[in-house]
Amino acid sequence: MNSAAQVQAGQTHSRAVVWIDHLTAKIFSMGLTGVTPTIVHAHRSSPHLHHKANTIGDGRVEEDPSFLEQVGKAVAPCREVLILGPGAEKMVLHHYLQSVYPQMMLRLEACDHPTDPEIIALGRKHFRLE
């Protein structure tokens, strides 16, 4: 897949589907001319959401502050974004995009772990690009 910077430089699509969890964001920019995939990885100190037992603090692993920013840059040229994913990370991305890009039309849907073709099919159906 392409890096976020490569896609942003050459992207002409005005819609995107983002599947996100706490480690990865799969971004599929789409339009009538095709689909451009991108993947963004979070750089966390641990792949797990929680520390081991008997540790100090609330038990959560520290967030990667640049993760949402990189995802936001990848979808910045888009007018409409469908955000998919399990857990709360999709809501965190929704709030981030809403605050940084208020003109962007955002929609959320819960979606566990679909394949890339299933994500693209959901986007085509949502954006009526079939």
pLDDT in tens, the chain (130 residues): 444 444 444 446 799 999 999 889 999 999 888 899 999 998 765 555 545 555 555 555 566 779 999 999 999 999 999 999 988 889 999 999 999 999 999 999 998 889 999 999 999 999 988 7
> For residue 49, which of 96, 83, 16, 92 has the smallest C-alpha distance?
92
Whole-angstrom distance, CA of residue 34 vs CA of residue 113: 23
**Confidence (pLDDT) at 5:** 45
DSSP secondary structure string, 3-72?
Answer: -HHHHHHH---SEEEEEE-SSEEEEEEEETTEEEEEEEE---S-SSSBPPSS-SSSSBPPP-TTHHHHHH
CATH number, position 78: 3.30.420.60
**Confidence (pLDDT) at 122:** 94
For the entire predicted model, the pTM comes to 0.79
Domain of 12?
Answer: 4-127
Q: Give the total number of structural domains in the chain.
A: 1
> Are the beta carbons of 38 and 71 closer than 8 angstroms?
no
Q: Helix, strand or coil for residue 85?
A: strand
